[in-house]
Structure 1
Amino acid sequence: MNDYKIPAQTRIGHVHLKVSDLQRSVAFYCDLLGFELVTMYGDQAAFVSAGGYHHHIGLNTWHSKDAPPAPEYAPGLYHTAILYPERKDLAAILQRLIDADYAITGAADHGVSEAIYLNDPDENGVELYWDRPRDQWPTDDHGNLTMYTRQLDIPGLLGLLN
């Protein structure tokens, strides 16, 4: 049994978040980030997606309506990572956040990817990122992946929009 490996084609299908205010969360994920509302489950849950999938993100108030955010220093979800197909798409969402004056908590170049970090209205971490092509990933002299955290070239990223 110790030799089992999950199939390489396996993907994370969706994330389901407990939120305190459903409409506020729908506004964040749909109106700001651009996800599409697929369906509502009464006034307690919503399912949103990119491109018509049944849902990439579920939002519910079943155990969290009007509750405060989860404690920062407790076990739980660190962030939900949303992968954009192209670098220009990351630039577009960054510009959208800037235009909306939405607080960004961080930005980084990780070698394999470039990322923008923020919190949703319930202080759930959100990473917006794009992956560089695999042949551009940094490696050491032995071919081992060497991820890092460096300053993101924000002017260069936003320059893609001109």
Structure 2
Amino acid sequence: MKYQIPEQTRIGHVHLKVSDLQRSIRFYCELLGFEITMEYGEQAVFISAGGYHHHIGLNTWQSKNAPPAPKHGVGLYHTAIVYPSRKDLALILKRLNEFDYPLTGAADHGVSEAIYLDDPDGNGVELYWDRPKAEWPQNDKDELDMYTKPLNLMHLLALAE
């Protein structure tokens, strides 16, 4: 019998090895707006949105001053952070623009709209919002039919006004 994970299962957090803890705190907390929930000496912090114990852990236990992971090797592709609404995604895009923080991409996936960037260690970060499930694209067999199309960033930014 095939095991199926329970429907209510979710990803609890991601824990990243970083080379410079303070630089990562500036990115995740000062730029993206996460809050520190716990500091573990000078080597690790746990950060959260909305008071959860932690969504992201950052540590230098094995990576202090290390170079970024190679782009063309095995490892984390990106951490995806879900925003509650399209307007919230627009607001973080506006903030990134105000800080001249470079994007690596932007896409409409049918089920979601996403912007992509790298954290200071080169770890990919996806910031996105999910469309309501009733709007997700389906093929002629009533199966999910995700795609990747360009995202109109100017149209998205208009929501931030």
For Structure 1 versus Structure 2, the TM-score category normalised by the shorter chain is: over 0.9
List aligned pairs for 1:58-97, cutoff 5 A.
58-97=57-96
- Equivalent pairs counted in the alignment come to 161
Q: Partners in 2 of 1:142 and 1:57 — Cα distance?
A: 38
**5+ unaligned residues in a row in structure 1: which ranges?**
none
Residues 54-98 of structure 1: per-residue CA shift (max 9 Å, x gap): 100000000000000011111110000000000000000000000
- RMSD over equivalenced CA pairs, Å: 0.7
Offset of residue 140 of structure 1: 1.4
Query: What code does the residue aligned with 1:118 have?
Result: L
* TM-score (structure 2 length as normaliser): 0.98
List aligned pairs for 1:1-150, cutoff 5 A.
2-150=1-149
Mean CA deviation greater in 148-157 or 20-29:
148-157
**5+ unaligned residues in a row in structure 2: which ranges?**
none
Q: Partners in 2 of 1:111 and 1:82 — Cα distance?
A: 17
State the 4+ residue runs in structure 1 displaced beyond 3 angstroms: none
* TM-score (structure 1 length as normaliser): 0.97
Query: What code does the residue aligned with 1:145 have?
Result: L
Q: Partners in 1 of 2:120 and 2:29 — Cα distance?
A: 13
